[in-house]
């Protein structure tokens, strides 16, 4: 690696087919073997996620980082074996894949296409107050609003590395809040990525964080840079 890491957090999003086609060659031999053993849909998803993640590593940590060894914890959280202080995370929903790389921070990202609203999902994602706010929205806005709350829980679970429990903690506050804090991790919702709701969670000291959102490989939309403050 060049040793010239870009500080902050890089989020990259792409459609799965494009990511697999453009970045599939970046997978390690072990990853290619794993993908070959999967059913076609799962193989595409895995190749797209790992390929895009390795592209993001190269653009964050410098030349050679794309070859970093990725291992899983006993709870399935991906980590860089030789660079454990750099946080990584992946998410898939529908045809969209998103990844995050954070220098010096744990990080979790989640994307979720709108899904039908059920009582179980409401109880899992929303406090009673948030459920009332959801019911007050126009019906066509409710699935997206609920998907946003789900991504907050998932992103936080991925950042902590503990995963979702049967009864995940629901974060209080306004239903459509764009940022918040819980259990030593900040979270913020992101602009819709590939038609999906999206959220990011990360730890670290409460100082200014540089967040970059990249749409590589010809994905429609501009690259964006957001200067964000770690919420209290």
Quick one: pLDDT at residue 79?
95
CA distance readout (Å), 98 to 59, 108, 228: 15, 11, 19
Q: Is the pLDDT of residue 196 over 70?
A: yes
What is the reported pLDDT for 224? Answer: 46
Cβ distance 110 to 99 under 8 Å? no
Round the average pLDDT of the chain to a whole number and report it: 87
The residue with greater pLDDT, 115 or 143, is: 143
pLDDT digits (tens, 9 = 90+) for 69-108: 999 998 889 999 999 899 999 999 999 999 999 998 999 9
Structure token pair of residue 58: 């190269």
Write down the domain spans for the chain. Answer: 13-229
Tokens 């990853």 found at: 31
pLDDT at 54 over 90: yes
Q: Could you read off the pLDDT of 151-194 as tens digits, one per residue?
A: 999 999 999 987 655 555 678 899 999 998 876 789 999 999 88
The rounded distance, in Å, linking the Cα atoms of 193 and 15 is 10
Who wins on pLDDT, 227 or 47?
A: 47
Nearest partner of 186 among 108, 103, 118, judged by Cα:
108
pLDDT for 217: 57
Q: Which of 29-33, 48-52, 178-182 has the lowest mean pLDDT?
A: 178-182
Reduced to 3 states, what is the DSSP secondary structure of residue 209? strand
Q: What is the pLDDT of residues 199-223, one digit of tens each?
A: 999 997 545 678 899 987 555 444 4
pTM: 0.89
CA distance 183 to 188: 14
Relative to beta strand 9-15, strand 208-214 is parallel
Q: Is the pLDDT of residue 228 over 60?
A: no
**Rounded average pLDDT over 47-57:** 96
Candidates 3.30.420.40, 1.10.760.10, 3.40.228.10, 3.90.470.20; CATH matching 13-229: 3.90.470.20
Q: Calculate the CA dihedral of residues 110, 76, 185, 66 and round it to 10 degrees.
A: -70
């Amino acid at each position: 690696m060049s040793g010239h890491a870009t500080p902050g957090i890089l989020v990259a999003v792409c459609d799965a087919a494009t990511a697999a086609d453009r970045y599939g060659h970046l997978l390690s031999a072990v990853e290619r073997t794993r993908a070959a053993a999967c059913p076609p849909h799962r193989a595409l998803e895995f190749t797209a996620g790992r390929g895009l993640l390795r592209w993001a590593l190269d653009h964050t940590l410098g030349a050679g980082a794309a070859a970093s060894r990725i291992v899983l914890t006993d709870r399935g959280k991906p980590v860089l074996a030789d660079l454990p202080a750099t946080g990584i995370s992946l998410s898939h929903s529908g045809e969209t894949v998103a990844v995050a790389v954070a220098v010096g921070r744990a990080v979790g990202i989640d994307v979720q296409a709108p899904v039908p609203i059920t009582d179980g999902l409401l109880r899992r994602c929303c406090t009673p107050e948030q459920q009332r706010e959801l019911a007050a929205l126009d019906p066509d806005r409710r699935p997206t609003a609920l998907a946003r709350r789900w991504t907050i829980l998932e992103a936080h679970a991925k950042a902590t590395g503990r995963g979702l429990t049967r009864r995940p903690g629901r974060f209080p506050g306004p239903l459509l809040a764009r940022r918040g804090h819980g259990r030593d991790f900040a979270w913020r919702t992101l602009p819709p990525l590939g038609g999906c709701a999206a959220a990011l969670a990360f730890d670290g000291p409460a100082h200014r964080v540089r967040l970059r959102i990249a749409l590589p490989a010809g994905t429609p939309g501009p690259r964006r840079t957001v200067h964000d403050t770690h919420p209290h």
